């Protein structure tokens, strides 16, 4: 019972970090479905993390602490994070699709750029407000509100894991379902997958490759950035601490592989990865070093990668043209 309890608490706590991962992963899934491998997720999530905080922070200081509407604050956070992520996605598309630069190099540069911009913006704001960039307690509470009714939270085991979560957790699940429906049931989704699988085919069929790549990468960047915002506003408690986001974006990239590019899978696997990440805090095995705990998510990804490539199931492979730029006259 004690062990079960530890696990329930572990997964309940993992939900918060898992939500941030879920957004990061879903955004990257959408981007990669277009054949763009944006390794800049880390930078994008960083930027989402700071701008998602600065927006409500500015709003609150503009209208005064007591007058801030929590709903508006949350909306501003989402919009600001999405916008900065979308901008990064647009920049990535411009460099790789229009200028045809190498995607890996661009993505890595984007990570350096994004973390740099985020740290700079955070520091700038910190100097301005003097002290930590944060929100009033009232808004902090609004950002980490566990909205489900009490009777649901009281269901044994699953109540705590599934229903004792912040509003962003449920928003992420809704996005996952929408993304799944978009990719599998709509024509536009089908075309997008065609672009990522075989741009030559899609092009010959009259699909506008450039448009699809741009849009998927822009929206994908936006969704990923929301993940960064969710991290700052829930796990980090609405306080900007530079180093705490580090590695989340990379974990999201690993999760995309783990999910075999399926948004629905990203829901439970993000929580699982979130649990693996914080396991060292909750389930302590004597003599087992923390560093080994922390590599668990990556070990699991490698194992899954090995298994999927060994079984060689065609439907579970990455989009065939992932990371390859397309130029009509050069093939």
Instruction: Answer yes or no: are the C-beta atoms of 106 and 96 closer than 8 Å.
Output: yes
CB of 174 to other proteins, least distance (A): 22
Q: Is 160 in the site for other proteins (CB under 8 A)?
A: no
* Binding test (CB under 8 A) with other proteins, winner from 197, 224, 236, 293: 197
Task: Please say which residue, 185 or 286, places its beta carbon nearer to other proteins.
Answer: 185
CB atoms within 10 A of CB 152: 12
Q: Is 101 in the site for other proteins (CB under 8 A)?
A: no
**DSSP-assigned beta bridge partners for residue 146:** 166
* Binding test (CB under 8 A) with other proteins, winner from 67, 130, 149, 187: 187
Number of residues that bind other proteins (CB under 8 A): 24
Query: Three-state DSSP class for 166?
Result: strand
* Binding test (CB under 8 A) with other proteins, winner from 128, 138, 154, 328: 328
Instruction: Answer yes or no: are the C-beta atoms of 2 and 151 closer than 8 Å.
Output: no
Point out which span in 82-90, 142-150, 170-178, 188-196 binds other proteins (CB under 8 A): 188-196
Query: Three-state DSSP class for 200?
Result: helix
Q: For residues 330 and 35, give the distance between their C-alpha atoms in angstroms, rounded to a whole number.
A: 17
Point out which span in 88-96, 204-212, 230-238, 274-282 binds other proteins (CB under 8 A): 204-212
Q: For residues 2 and 300, give the distance between their C-alpha atoms in angstroms, rounded to a whole number.
A: 26
What residues numbered 9-68 form the site for other proteins, per CB under 8 A?
none
Point out which span in 61-69, 199-207, 232-240, 268-276 binds other proteins (CB under 8 A): 199-207
**Cα–Cα separations (whole angstroms), residue 227 to 6, 49, 78, 216:** 26, 8, 10, 17
CB of 261 to other proteins, least distance (A): 11
Q: Is 105 in the site for other proteins (CB under 8 A)?
A: no
* Binding test (CB under 8 A) with other proteins, winner from 198, 210, 244, 260: 198
Point out which span in 12-20, 58-66, 127-135, 308-316 binds other proteins (CB under 8 A): 308-316
Task: Please say which residue, 105 or 204, places its beta carbon nearer to other proteins.
Answer: 204
Three-state helix/strand/coil letters over 218-233: HHHHHHHHHHHHHHHH
* Binding test (CB under 8 A) with other proteins, winner from 3, 130, 185, 286: 185
CB of 205 to other proteins, least distance (A): 3
Q: Is 180 in the site for other proteins (CB under 8 A)?
A: no
Based on the number of CB atoms within 10 Å of its own CB, is 2 exposed (0-12), middle (13-18) or buried (19 or more)?
A: exposed
Tokens of 301: 């990804």
Q: Is 286 in the site for other proteins (CB under 8 A)?
A: no
Q: Which residues are CB-neighbours of 22 under 8 A, at least 6 positions away? A: 172, 173, 176, 227, 266, 267, 270, 271
CB of 102 to other proteins, least distance (A): 13
CB of 32 to other proteins, least distance (A): 14
Based on the number of CB atoms within 10 Å of its own CB, is 189 exposed (0-12), middle (13-18) or buried (19 or more)?
A: middle
* Binding test (CB under 8 A) with other proteins, winner from 194, 219, 259, 276: 194
User: CA torsion angle for 63, 239, 138, 75 (degrees, to 10)?
Assistant: 60
Q: Which residues bind to other proteins, rule: CB under 8 A?
A: 185-187, 190-191, 193-194, 197-198, 200-207, 312, 314-315, 317, 320, 328-329
């Amino acid at each position: 019972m004690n062990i079960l309890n530890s696990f329930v608490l572990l997964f309940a706590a993992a939900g918060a970090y898992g939500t941030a991962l879920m957004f990061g992963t879903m955004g990257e899934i959408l981007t990669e479905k277009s054949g763009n491998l944006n390794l800049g997720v880390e930078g994008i999530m960083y930027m989402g993390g700071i701008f998602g905080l600065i927006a409500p922070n500015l709003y609150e200081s503009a209208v005064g602490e007591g007058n801030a509407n929590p709903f508006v604050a949350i909306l501003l956070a989402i919009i600001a994070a999405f916008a900065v992520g979308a901008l990064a996605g647009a920049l990535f598309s411009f460099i790789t699709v229009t200028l045809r630069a190498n995607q890996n190099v661009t993505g890595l540069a984007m990570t350096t750029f994004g973390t740099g911009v985020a740290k700079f913006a955070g520091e700038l704001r910190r100097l301005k407000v003097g002290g930590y960039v944060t929100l009033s307690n009232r808004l902090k509470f609004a950002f980490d509100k566990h909205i489900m009714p009490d009777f649901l939270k009281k269901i044994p085991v699953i109540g705590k894991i599934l229903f004792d979560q912040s509003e962003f957790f449920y928003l992420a699940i809704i996005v996952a379902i929408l993304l799944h429906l978009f990719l599998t049931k709509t024509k536009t989704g089908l075309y997008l997958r065609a672009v990522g699988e075989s741009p030559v085919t899609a092009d010959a069929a009259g699909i506008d490759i450039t448009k699809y790549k741009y849009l998927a990468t822009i929206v994908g960047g936006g969704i990923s950035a929301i993940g960064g915002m969710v991290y700052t506003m829930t796990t980090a408690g609405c306080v900007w601490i530079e180093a705490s986001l580090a590695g989340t974006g990379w974990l999201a990239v690993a999760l995309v592989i783990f999910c075999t590019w399926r948004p629905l899978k990203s829901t439970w696997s993000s929580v699982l990865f979130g649990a693996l990440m914080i396991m060292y805090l909750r389930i302590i095995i004597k003599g087992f070093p923390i560093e080994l705990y922390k590599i668990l998510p990556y070990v699991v990804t490698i194992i899954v990668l090995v298994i999927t490539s060994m079984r060689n199931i065609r439907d579970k492979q990455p989009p065939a043209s992932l990371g390859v730029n397309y130029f009509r006259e050069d093939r």
